[in-house]
Amino acid sequence: MRIIPKQLLLIGLVILASIGAAQGEEPKSYPPSTSSLAVDVVAPTAELRCIATTPQRAREIAEQAWQDGSYQLAGECYLVAGEPAMADRAFLKAVAPQAAVTSQRVAENGDQVKAQIRRWNQALRSLQRAN
């Protein structure tokens, strides 16, 4: 019976990894043609989308992006503007909705994982009885 918790942990990690990989999208350029409430989180290795040429312009773009709810872009522009504390706040606001969505998906998938493990256990028991 000790194998089952290890299987649950392994399956949970695989589900988390697949959810994260499935959420990758092409980053949008700023300023957007229409405002959107969707948060687009870009991997840390991706290129910056803040196209400001001066720190002051970067701060202006960051403030506008913050007001528009594009916290990822705001964080990037705050970094360009030389304001790491504001960048950290923006990045945290960008990640929070994604964390909630991921948690919800993991909870929804938990029942499916448990059902699959029950089926595996039933199949193993039936094989053991047959032998």
111-122 pLDDT, tens per residue? 888 889 999 999
Task: Flag whether pLDDT at 82 surpasses 90.
Answer: yes
Can you give the residue ranges of every domain in the chain? 3-15+43-130
pLDDT given at position 115: 87
d(CA 75, CA 33): 20
Q: Judge residue 58's burial from the number of C-beta atoms within 10 Å of its C-beta, 0-12 exposed, 13-18 middle, 19 or more buried.
A: buried
Tokens 């403030």, located at residue: 63
- Residue range 30-49, pLDDT digits in tens: 444 433 334 444 444 445 58
55 Cβ neighbours under 8 A, 6+ residues apart: 80, 81, 82
- What's the pTM value of the predicted model, to 2 decimals? 0.45
Q: Is 49 helix (H, G, I), strand (E, B) or coil?
A: coil
pLDDT for the residue 130: 82
